[in-house]
Structure 1
């Protein structure tokens, strides 16, 4: 069987896309914090990761192929997404803070029946599509990809590779940390940190608008 080879120009575009993707995605933001918590709870993690990867795939390639033009046609879209995102992040910060203030909050919820798959997947979609940082990242990806002309799909593939790699790291990391969360205090610390991160992101986005 002949080995699969990639033309040098395409490989260069792919490598640039992977480096760009890691720089953009490998941060503990709203989506990452949500995935970590769901993984620790062992609540539909595989399905959530699949949905997040699918959304990234669709929008990475859409951005490279013309998403930037759509925002030029609909200039109000960026502002609408930003304020929906601020509201969504503040709501999740409030929920996390409430759990952190309860002595058995997070641990109690983790021991209850696992939330429905539908609710978990809807939250995953929300943390992607209602996250203004997601749209800003897509704009960056689309803009840089235009420098690669015929190889821009290779750039998109590299960016998607970085996205999938980061999601895999989050999934594995959440499973590795799971044994630490048999103690209610660990859940309170986690939810407190998530509340701070979500509130900080929301306020920074609101101030920047």
Structure 2
């Protein structure tokens, strides 16, 4: 249970950071346009990436024990950088979300979603390298991976289908700043726990 909870928490924290993919899902939800195919595409893609990371790094760490400490330190440093980026974004402020864009076809929406997911270099650092490496620290890496995959499904379905309720809030740039601060502080907290652990 501890491994599942750790995987869920870390997976959710990493995916929470607002980026191009999440902004796209939020826009699709606000417009109520192809929401189910889009959130499924994101969640299944994440599941494949997490599975690859957990399977590959679990076996690798067993053969190279020193890799676990290296990945833990790398993970802490990466999360600190990630948190700093979110806090800088909050400091600078960002534009309000504009939901009034023209409708797009299902095919265009899926292709855009796939591009934002698989062509983003950070997805490989976050999902494959970081989550895969950290999973080896837990008694059951598979349970850790299950927690991270569950977080992806919960997050994307909540974002896609909950977006309509958030429309008035995210029409204001201040809401993005508050969210970025929350993301930054969460990343810092996880980084400190990794470094001390």
- Give the TM-score range, shorter chain: 0.5 to 0.7
CA distance in 1 between partners of 2:55 and 2:135 (Å): 9
Q: For 1:106 and 1:24, how far apart are their aligned partners in 2?
A: 24
TM-score (norm 1): 0.57
Structure of higher CA gyration radius = 1
Q: 1:59 aligns with which of 49, 53, 59?
A: 49
Normalized per residue, the structure richer in helix is 1
Give the counterpart of 2:112 among 100, 123, 126.
Answer: 123
Deviation at 1:115, TM superposition (A): 1.3
1:186-201 superposed matches below 5 A: none
Answer yes or no: is 1:171 the counterpart of 2:164: no
Structure 1 stretches of 4+ with a deviation exceeding 2 A read none
Q: In the alignment, which residue of structure 2 is the partner of 1:86?
A: none
Write the distance in 2 (CA, Å) between the matches of 1:106 and 1:148: 41
Q: Any unmatched runs of 5+ in structure 2? A: 61-95, 177-197
Structure 1, gaps ≥5 residues long = 1-10, 70-99, 181-185, 194-209
Correspondence for 2:39 among 49, 58, 65:
49
